[in-house]
Amino acid sequence: MLVYFAALALMSLSLLEFGLYLAECHEHKSPVSVIHAGLLLVLFVLGAAILVRARAVARWVDNKLDE
């Protein structure tokens, strides 16, 4: 359950940051940088990957904590 929470938190934070960046660009009438926007969405992709592989990630974390 903690793995699902962490993945959703990463995805939510990424979307929040991306939305704030778009709002800032709109407010200042500046163009959106594709590289900057892409870097902000890296956490979203990471969170989605963790969400898809949640069971395997949970087992991996459990094994690391047992060591």
Instruction: Name the residue type at position 46.
Output: L
Spatial contact of 57 and 3, defined as CB atoms under 8 Å apart: yes
Q: For residue range 3-59, what is the model confidence (pLDDT) as tens digits?
A: 999 999 999 999 999 999 999 999 999 999 999 999 999 999 999 999 999 999 999
Q: What is the pTM of this model?
A: 0.81
The number of beta carbons lying within 10 Å of the beta carbon of residue 56 is 11
Q: Is the dihedral of CA 38, 43, 46, 48 positive or negative?
A: negative
- Enclosing domain of residue 59: 2-66
Q: What single DSSP character describes residue 1?
A: -
Q: How many domains does the chain have?
A: 1
Q: For residue range 6-19, what is the model confidence (pLDDT) as tens digits?
A: 999 999 999 999 99
User: 3-class SS at 36?
Assistant: helix
